[in-house]
Amino acid sequence: MSLLSSSTELAAVCARFAKHAFVTVDTEFLRETTFWPKVCVIQIASDEEAVAVDALAEGLDLAPFFALMANERVVKVFHAARQDLEIVWKLSKQIPDPLFDTQVAAMVCGFGDQVSYGELAQNICKVQIDKSSRFTDWARRPLSQAQITYALADVTHLRDIYRSLLASLAKSGRLGWLEGEMATLKNPATYEQHPDNAWERLRNRARKPRDLAVLMEIAAWREREAQSRDVPRSRVLKDDVVIDVALAAPRDAEALSQLRSFPRGMERARTGVDLLAAIERGLARDPKTLPKIEREKRGNGSAGATVELLKVLLRQVCEAHGVAAKMIATVDDLEAIAADDRAKVPALAGWRREMFGLKALELKHGRLALTLEKGKVIALEWQDAPAAEASVAAE
């Protein structure tokens, strides 16, 4: 077993793969020292063969691979596809389509939230994945036989996992449930790293408009720096330092140097100059143009109690229907429902509304009750409650 490293070989392999109804795909990449993922190995398999491609091979043209990813006659099967799709998008500005993510499918089929590839391989294929090569250096050459074997295992068992999940979805009539999730994965906006949105990762630390304004400018500056230098954000400035600087908003190098978390000497370098400029831009922003600062809502008064009840209902519904909770609603969604019957959340639309959303609204307005029966939570329509009480009394 060896790495495929020539453009001619890759073109021939992709031509063969294009004749199949589906291919399974995975990548091995590094990201510890870069902002953008550095793809090292690409694995592809059809029902007839599996190959590992040396993405770092000198002179290798990946165009045949990208053409296969764009081939509308071939379903591209990934597990936990997001990072792999980000790599394809970054390199080719296109996203594989049609697309099938087995992690998402597994959530619809009752395997729980974010089930791992290893768990699916064990449950469906009855094989144990050897993870000893998982955290090896994929950029170092030559790769060992153990690394190549590990890499190929990520696409060979995926074939049977895909077939099993597809059959289960077809039998249950839930194949359409994946459409919304796949649409998100196929949306280029999912992978675009806009510097002006970088502050959202740290938004909960801002409590005043001034803090938020400065945080937005510093986060955007750091994002641009990290992208242009292709280094992790923390190499430019760590999150805790970004927050400390935003809250203190120093106006000169001396004040900047007084912050305990700020790296010594950096205030006199270009970084310090750029950072102070970002602070000034933040302080100059019109507070009226800033996003609204959301206050912590969880656990407060009746809304908090409603959310807790909705969590119990969500768990009950998921267990009854064999669907992962993450596929139906997040805690933020539950908070939105507690605050507004017409909240714009997935849980109040489509199949999620039929399965959970309508019950959530009934529970919120006292028309649905939760009770225990033999240690298991069940939901009772209000008109069923007296009958249930009579049954308990009879016992």
Confidence (pLDDT) at 383: 54
Fold category of 7-190 in CATH: Nucleotidyltransferase; domain 5 (3.30.420)
What's the distance, CA 211 to chain centroid? Answer: 28
Question: CA-CA distances (angstroms) from residue 100 to 126, 165, 353?
Answer: 22, 10, 23
Confidence (pLDDT) at 72: 97
Query: What is the radius of gyration, based on Cα positions, of the chain?
Result: 26
Residues 6+ apart with CB under 8 A from 139: 30, 38, 40, 56
Architecture, CATH, for domain 195-289:
Orthogonal Bundle (1.10)
The pTM assigned to this predicted structure is 0.86
Residues 6+ apart with CB under 8 A from 302: none
Confidence (pLDDT) at 382: 58
Confidence (pLDDT) at 395: 39
- What b-and-e string marks burial along 94-117, b requiring 16 or more CB atoms within 10 Å of the CB? ebbeebbbbbbbbbbbebbeebbb
Q: How far apart are CA 350 and CA 180, in angstroms?
A: 10
Q: How far apart are CA 44 and CA 42, in angstroms?
A: 7
Q: How far apart are CA 265 and CA 52, in angstroms?
A: 46
Confidence (pLDDT) at 97: 94
Q: How far apart are CA 165 and CA 175, in angstroms?
A: 10
> Residue holding tokens 């995926």?
158
Domains 7-190 and 304-394 share a fold: no
Q: How many CB atoms lie within 10 A of CB 121?
A: 21
Could you tell me the residue ranges of all domains in the chain?
7-190, 195-289, 304-394
Residues of the chain with pLDDT under 50: 297-299, 384-395
The pair of three-digit structure tokens given for residue 139, joined into one six-digit string = 């950029």
Nearest alpha-carbon partner for 282 in 240, 321, 251, 309: 251
Give me the CATH code for the 304-394 domain, please.
Answer: 1.10.150
> Residue holding tokens 């205030």?
267
The pair of three-digit structure tokens given for residue 208, joined into one six-digit string = 């005043």
Question: CA-CA distances (angstroms) from residue 198 to 49, 86, 195, 201, 279?
Answer: 42, 17, 5, 6, 15
The pair of three-digit structure tokens given for residue 283, joined into one six-digit string = 């302080």
Confidence (pLDDT) at 300: 52
